[in-house]
Chains A and B, each alone.
Chain A
Amino acid sequence: MPTFKVFRYDPDKNDPPYFQDYEVPDHKGMTVLEALYYILENLDPTLAFRSSCRMGVCGSCAMHIDGQYGLACETQVAALGNKITIRPLAHMTVIRDMVVDLDPFFAQYEAIKPYLIPKNAPGPREYAQTPRERKKLDILVDCILCASCYGSCPVVGTDEKYLGPHALLKALRFIDDSRDGQTNERLAFVANDSGIFRCHTIFNCQQVCPKDLDPTGAIGKLKMKSLWAKLTGKLKSSG
């Protein structure tokens, strides 16, 4: 029976954060999320954690699981040891237990204008996009905004102005979309010290992404694109 050592914090009570141990009976195929539900439902109804789809697509249950950021719902208990440490995502204010304040995370996402700004006015039919053009968006569009990358990024932890791996990946998702007409404006927005040039290329985001996306690579690609845009005179911003 593994022991879960779970981070606990309630700012409404005056106690500092602490870890609490729970013994959870495991079974074949049990996930960390199921273990957390076992604790909430049978051992301690005060435990707070987000979750919903339990199938790795809604992005609610990102946390720090035994030394690695990821989704509790798709982490198998059997793959971990007998003592499993559970902590919230880093770099965000803890509201309670595993629940952190995601407002800054979403504010940065919103800052990059995360919506298509089309090149051409729409007609009666779909914008034509070939499979090859669409393939450029593969994996970029699979981001579930779980914030695992954000929690793992040391730059996020030290510079609140940094846009973050999630927002920069999203910027590339639109820049690489054959239908979008704002490439240079988008590049200008990210090609500065709060954007792509702030990334220290530490690869944590790439390592932890539960969807196997590559925000580090996306930032590298944005650097090349902005350099090229600068050389060809399309980009005038500083940086």
Chain B
Amino acid sequence: MFYDVIIVGGGLAGLRAAIAAHDAGVKVGLVSKIHPVRSHSGAAQGGVNAALGNHPDGHDDTPERHAYDTIKGSDFLADQDAVELMANMAPEIIIEFEHWGCPFSRYEDGSIAQRPFGGAGFPRTCYGADRTGLYMLHTCYEQVVKRNIDVLYEHFVTRLAVKNGRCTGVIALNLHTGEFEAIAGNAVIFATGGSGRVYSINTTNAHASTGLGIAIPYWAGVALKDMEFIQFHPTGLEGSSILMTEGCRGEGGYLLNNRGERFMKNYVSEKIMELAPRDIVARSIQTEINEGRGFEDSFVHLDLRHLGEQKIKEKLPGIREICLKFKNIDPIKTPIPIHPANHYTMGGIDCDKNGETSLEGFYAAGECACVSVHGANRLGGNSLLDTIVFGTQTGRYVAGKVKGMSQTVDTDALNNGLDAEKERYERLQSSEGKANPYDIRNDLSKVMNEKIGIFRNETDMKAAVDEIKMLKIKFEKLRPIPNTVKFNYDFLWVTEIAGNLDAALAIATGALNRTESRGAHYRIDFNKRLDDEWLKHTLHTYHPSNPEITYKPVTMGKYEPEERKY
């Protein structure tokens, strides 16, 4: 099997990259471990940012203002050239989605509706009720169907084929047949999403969002960047941690502590309140809980009642549906119990704005990538935008690179990769250990939530690094996986957990090393941002027990670091 461009991942970034590369005239194969419409892009709710200026209070909005808000939101760790590209491309790329039929909500004049979101100077978040991701994902998949692009779904990529410093394809387990397949390509784009399941007991992320797509290139020698920056969404539903969109607050929802107080006034200006950026709101909620002003010492209230039945049903129907089905409460009548939950991986595969990495022929886009446009803290509404802007950008760029290139199938690299994966599969089947892989995953998740969470300190993080290393040793002695052939999910999850462990170690070591507080990385022992020393990206290079950490400069531009006040 040969494609000019292999795209791994069927979420918004992968689909949009596939369309861009296909439209540029190259042969594209999209490989995904789940069917594209099952991707977690579809769970995005609140919206996508673009300075369209449609909102009545947003007519003066501009891409420049969008870029500034994003850079300030990132605590100045984002690369400014990439942010400007994203903000500038945003309007045209949203309009394109609309032209493809995306069912955005509307204003009376027929234009796309926008709502206020955290950390934004103007209301610029375009939305389709509270199902924006679902609508965009399906619209993008529809365009892939229209173009008849090859989609290999339920093909589980486990390894890159690399020869002489060049990526020449991927090895995937076809879940339908139980056979490993070598897929050759002149370029490979990873668009595999985030790693929220490293924190599995408290994450908004899907079971599929394990971070294996970050670990696979990491194992192959590609550096990761800024992994210590993990976003905790302020409002995960108590218990299941299911996302309660920022749109709840954008539409006017309140956060209340056990005294019935809108506590955000104690943390930010009264003008901003609940619409501060996520890192700040998450810390504020956690502080309320830690200081005894939460409920049952574990949650606060997200109160929508004053918005009224009509507005809730019209603008937030998905939130109401989730509350009814998963919590048996109706937000029209009852406040929603929420606590912060792991949500987004700001870091990821180190790449530039064309998706280019240190490995020739290997590219990345979307949440698995770190361009970086989100720096130390992503603004709400910028993740959907990141997927479609950098999906497009990378798809086009890579198509340009491979166009006219002769079909190079490196049989050696592919066969070696195939052999290695088959051998690993057999080794797992004949394993003589006793350890349950899922216990290891649960223990890992506990370590990460307790010790690399919203508030961090050296003692905890040192302990976390040691515990992750112990778990990695334990993972070497697993109980055998079953010998079923088709849809061997135990093999899949065991492989995912291997990725979880190394992603976690990268997160923990990066966090321990960074002796400052910036964006979502907040240390109680170093609670100030220290630009002189730390205005730089972390680079993580794989090593089984001690990941190597180096740093590289942030691409600055017209915005000088300033105190981040809201």
Contacts and interface: CB of A to CB of B under 8 A. Distances in A.
Contact of A52 (B34, B135, B239): B34
A60 interface: yes
Interface string A113-133: 111101000101111111101
A99 B487 contact: yes
Nearest to A121: B99
A87 interface: no
Contact of B109 (A12, A51, A54, A128): A128
**How many B residues are at the interface, by size bracket?**
35 or more
Contact of A57 (B35, B42, B490): B42
B265 to A, nearest CB: 31
B470 interface: no
Interface in A54-102: 54-60, 74, 95-97, 99, 102
A237 interface: no
A180 interface: yes
Contacts of A221: none
Contacts of A122: 95, 99
B249 interface: no
Given A53-B206, A60-B34, A142-B134, A126 B107 contact: no
B438 A96 contact: no
B484 A12 contact: yes
Interface string A39-53: 011100111111111
A128 B111 contact: yes
A56 B321 contact: yes
B42 A96 contact: no
Nearest to A212: B321
Contacts of A42: 436, 438
Nearest to A71: B325
Contacts of B208: 52
Grouping DSSP codes into helix (H, G, I), strand (E, B) and loop, the A interface class, with mixed when no group exceeds half, is loop
A125 B91 CA distance: 9
A239 interface: no
B191 to A, nearest CB: 16
Contacts of A60: 34-35, 38
Nearest to B239: A29
A29 B326 contact: yes
B240 interface: yes
Contacts of B484: 10, 12, 46, 48, 96
A141 interface: yes
B445 interface: no
B94 to A, nearest CB: 8
17 contacts: A29-B240, A41-B436, A42-B438, A46-B482, A46-B484, A47-B489, A48-B487, A48-B488, A49-B489, A53-B40, A55-B322, A74-B325, A115-B143, A125-B111, A127-B110, A130-B110, A177-B103
Closest 5 CB pairs of A and B: A128-B110, A116-B101, A41-B438, A45-B490, A115-B142
Given A115-B143, A141-B138, 12 more contacts: A12-B484, A29-B240, A46-B490, A50-B38, A52-B40, A53-B207, A95-B176, A110-B145, A126-B104, A126-B111, A134-B103, A145-B37
Interface of A: 10-12, 29, 31, 40-42, 45-60, 74, 95-97, 99, 102, 106, 110, 113-116, 118, 122, 124-131, 133-134, 137, 141-142, 144-145, 174, 177, 179-180
Interface of B: 34-35, 37-40, 42-43, 95, 98-101, 103-112, 128, 131, 134-135, 138, 142-143, 145-146, 176, 178, 206-208, 239-240, 242-243, 318, 321-322, 325-327, 436, 438, 481-482, 484-490, 493
